Amino acid sequence: MQNKFPWDSYSDQPHILKRTLKKELRKGHGFDYFKLIVTNLFYFPYLFLKFLWKRSESEASAPNIARIKPSTPMLPNFYGLCVNLDKGKEQFELVEELGVKSLQIRLFLNDIKNIDKYVAFTKGFGEDKEILITIIQDRENIKNHELLAKNIEIIFQKFEGITSEFMIGNAINRIKWEFVSMEEYLGFYEIVQNVRDKDFSHIKLIGSSVIDFEYHFTIRTLFNNYKIKFDKVASLLYVDRRGSPYSTQMGIFDFKNKIEFLDTIVKSSSKCSNAIYITEANWPLSATAPYAPTSEKECVSEELYNQYMLEYFDIALKSQKIEKVYWHQLIAAGYGLVDDRDGVLRKTPAFYSFKKALSTA
């Protein structure tokens, strides 16, 4: 099964799947997609009109976010950062230099045998950090709920006293990340919640972790008959393919309005609280192939990356809808704050801007 979902170590994500494999995986999930369509036929028009109404009211009472130099908030934990076990212990010193307190760490279910290494890595950042553990799915645990429950219990036990926040699943609307449908994810989340409710009631579960501006998937995960609830809502809200955060998609959806629409969806659902985390965002860097996660067409210079990052944080903060933004990630040649090619750690301009924002927060 791992051979069906090969990992790209350059861009830290699964390789794009062949169309034939996607078609094969979708077999037997027709009713799942029917539910997705029906849910959106019912809820999407209502939620979209509600968003438009709120937007018109907001514009009538206050001006839009202006194109001004990004302001720095007095909220130091608003700025989050993704760090990875495989990027090494050098991250401990870099995190301390930045002064960032909110960290997100991926834990892969297909690597559960090495969980003690993840625990040790997490502890290495010290006791003053707010840690979000992201549990990364795989087909074996998606299909075998008994195995999933066993592994989740192990994870919760191992991280007892270290953190109480866990994001369940990642980029769940991309088949290359191994969920075939939203129904698979909802069933997966339900098992995790059952384990939490039984013996770990203090733990906060975060989802549904939809990537990009594909809110029809978010709507299905927040409007359903499953006995679940998200303690906080996570969105991997990338806008990099549009260039600037001020650029629009579908006419009106710049980054600000994407936040506003997401907030409308979240506040209209009984399946979640109103708290929202953006758990991934970045821009791919030019001339870094094969490390960049997209084609060169979407890539930007380090200077533009720095500008867009500051604008992204500023817009998210001023919206007053987002509790935290986790930048993805600290060390990554194609999109991170530090370039590690040739075994040398080179801090980009964005690294120093991130540091300055935190130091003045």
For 177-202, the DSSP string reads GT--SHHHHHHHHHHHHHHHHHH-TT
One-letter identity of residue 38? V
Per-residue pLDDT at 58: 77
Instruction: Tell me: pLDDT of 349 over 80.
Output: yes
Instruction: Tell me: pLDDT of 123 over 80.
Output: yes
What is the H or E stretch that residue 309 is in? helix 302-319
CB 135, CB 166: distance < 8 Å? yes
3-state secondary structure of 38: helix
Distance of alpha carbon 224 from alpha carbon 222, whole angstroms: 6
Distance of alpha carbon 118 from alpha carbon 309, whole angstroms: 28
Per-residue pLDDT at 32: 98
Per-residue pLDDT at 68: 46
Q: How many domains does the chain have?
A: 1
One-letter identity of residue 327? W
Residue 2 is assigned to a structural domain of this protein:
no
Residue 254 is assigned to a structural domain of this protein:
yes
Residues 345-360: what's their mean pLDDT?
A: 96
- Between 69 and 307, name the one with better pLDDT: 307
Instruction: Tell me: pLDDT of 3 over 80.
Output: no
Percentage of the chain beyond pLDDT 90 is 92
Residue 12 is assigned to a structural domain of this protein:
no
Residues 68-95: what's their mean pLDDT?
A: 82
Distance of alpha carbon 50 from alpha carbon 52, whole angstroms: 5
- State the pTM of this model: 0.95
Residue 200 is assigned to a structural domain of this protein:
yes
Task: Return the CATH number at 105.
Answer: 3.20.20.80
Residues 32-37: what's their mean pLDDT?
A: 98
Residue 106 is assigned to a structural domain of this protein:
yes
The whole domain housing 337 covers 19-359
Residue 8 is assigned to a structural domain of this protein:
no
Instruction: Tell me: pLDDT of 71 over 60.
Output: no
* 119 Cβ contact list (under 8 Å, min separation 6): 158, 159, 162
Percentage of the chain beyond pLDDT 70 is 95
**Cβ atoms within 10 A of the Cβ of 47, count?**
22
- Strand-pair category, 165-168 with 204-211: parallel
Average pLDDT over the chain, rounded to an integer: 94
Residue 123 is assigned to a structural domain of this protein:
yes
pLDDT digits (tens, 9 = 90+) for 237-293: 999 999 999 999 999 999 999 999 999 999 999 999 999 999 999 999 999 999 999
What is the H or E stretch that residue 36 is in? helix 30-61
Residue 13 is assigned to a structural domain of this protein:
no
